[in-house]
């Protein structure tokens, strides 16, 4: 079970934008260089993020992207929902038809538990939390720990 690059790159990219919240817009080129991701590919990820209202774009020279809300109000779940769709460990959770055949679906409850567990984590972590973690790691490294 793995996230696709869409989700992984998307979160990394949003993190870069979040780091500069309140400052100048961040261009795809900048993110591409900092995170070592293809510009073309990043473009494709930002389109749906913008349409979903998580970021605003500023076109033209010196343009780029800015968060539409403070980093504390954007969760990892918000990002992953846009880029990967909602977490569904198995379509069996929604689709009653296939399960109905065998009477009671034995595994349905299991998939729900896994899904809820993932959702709880990603809904509780905001971009601000990631920034805080990041700063803490940096500080600890400075102190030589």
Point out which residues bind DNA (CB under 7 A): 4-6, 9, 27-29, 37-38, 40-41, 43-44, 46-47, 50, 57-65
Tell the smallest beta-carbon distance from residue 3 to its own copies (Å): 5
Closest contact distance (angstroms) between CB of 60 and DNA is 2
Q: Which residues of 58-87 are buried (b: 16+ CB within 10 A; e: fewer)?
A: eeeeeebbbbeeebeebbbbbbbbbbeeeb
- The answer to whether 89 and 109 have CB atoms below 8 angstroms apart is no
Secondary structure letter of residue 119 according to DSSP: H
Which of DNA, its own copies, none interacts with 107 (beta carbon under 5 to 8 A by kind)?
Answer: its own copies
Ordered alpha helix ranges (H), the chain: 5-19, 28-35, 39-51, 76-84, 96-100, 108-124, 127-142
Q: Which of 30, 84, 78 is nearest to 55 (CA)?
A: 78
* Smallest separation, CB 31 to DNA (Å): 8
Helix axes 127-142, 5-19, angle to 10 degrees: 70
Answer with the entry of its own copies, DNA, none that 41 interacts with (C-beta below 5 to 8 A by kind): DNA
**In this chain, which stretch among 21-29, 31-39, 41-49, 58-66 interacts with its own copies, using CB under 8 A?**
31-39
Binding site for its own copies (CB under 8 A): 1-3, 7-8, 11-12, 15, 34-36, 76, 80, 84, 87-92, 98, 101-102, 104, 106-107, 109-111, 113-114, 117-118, 120-122, 125, 130, 133-134, 137-138, 141
């Amino acid at each position: 079970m793995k996230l696709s690059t869409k989700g992984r790159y998307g979160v990394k990219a949003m993190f870069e934008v979040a780091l500069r919240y309140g400052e100048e817009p961040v261009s795809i080129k900048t993110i591409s260089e900092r995170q070592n991701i293809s510009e073309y590919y990043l473009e494709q990820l930002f389109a749906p993020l913008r349409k979903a209202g998580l970021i605003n774009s500023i076109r033209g020279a010196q343009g780029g992207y800015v968060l539409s809300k403070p980093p504390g109000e954007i969760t990892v779940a918000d990002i992953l929902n846009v880029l990967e769709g909602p977490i569904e460990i198995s379509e069996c959770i929604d689709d009653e038809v296939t399960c109905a055949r065998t009477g009671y679906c034995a595994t349905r409850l299991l998939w729900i538990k896994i899904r809820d567990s993932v959702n709880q984590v990603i809904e509780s972590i905001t971009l601000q939390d990631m920034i805080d973690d990041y700063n803490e790691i940096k500080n600890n490294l400075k102190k030589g720990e």
